[in-house]
């Protein structure tokens, strides 16, 4: 025997109990998150514009000291030639 469910329409709310949208807590949860992100983004942009990072000049001594490390990094990141696998890489 199949059971059927009857759907009831909710009664119209009493106009005296209906609150404006700004008095509903759920509405502030929906609006509050994105609003907080926008405010934080504006504050971050203002800080970045008012105090930019200085441009650093490359130090010649540091560049020559780091040259072996940079070459090793580039060698390790280079793709393998065709027909060579990682086990045979020197």
Dump pLDDT digits (tens) for 67-76.
888 888 888 7
Q: Give a yes or no: residue 25 inside a domain.
A: yes
Q: What is the spatial distance between Cα 28 and Cα 32, in angstroms, rounded to a whole number?
A: 5
Give the pLDDT of residue 41.
98
Q: Which residue has the higher pLDDT, 61 or 36?
A: 36
Give the pLDDT of residue 1.
56
Question: What is the phi/psi pair of residue 74, to 5°?
Answer: -65, -35
User: If you compute the radius of gyration of the chain from its CA atoms, what whole number of angstroms results?
Assistant: 32
- Residues 6 or more apart whose Cβ sits within 8 Å of residue 22: 28
Domain holding 42, by residue range, is 21-50
Dump pLDDT digits (tens) for 43-65.
999 999 999 888 877 776 667 77
Mean pLDDT of all residues in 78-86: 72
Q: Give a yes or no: residue 83 inside a domain.
A: no
For 6, 32, 44, 66, 72, the CA distances from 78, given in Å and listed in that order, are 68, 48, 37, 18, 10
What total of structural domains would you count in the chain? 1
Give the pLDDT of residue 70.
81
């Amino acid at each position: 025997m199949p059971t059927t469910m009857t759907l009831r329409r909710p009664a119209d709310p009493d106009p005296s109990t209906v609150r404006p949208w700004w008095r509903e807590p759920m509405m502030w949860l929906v609006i509050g998150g994105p609003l907080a992100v926008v405010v934080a983004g504006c504050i971050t942009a203002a800080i970045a514009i008012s105090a930019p990072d200085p441009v650093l000049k490359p130090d010649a001594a540091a560049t020559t000291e780091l040259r072996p490390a940079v070459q090793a990094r580039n060698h390790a990141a280079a793709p393998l030639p065709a027909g060579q696998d990682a086990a045979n890489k020197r």
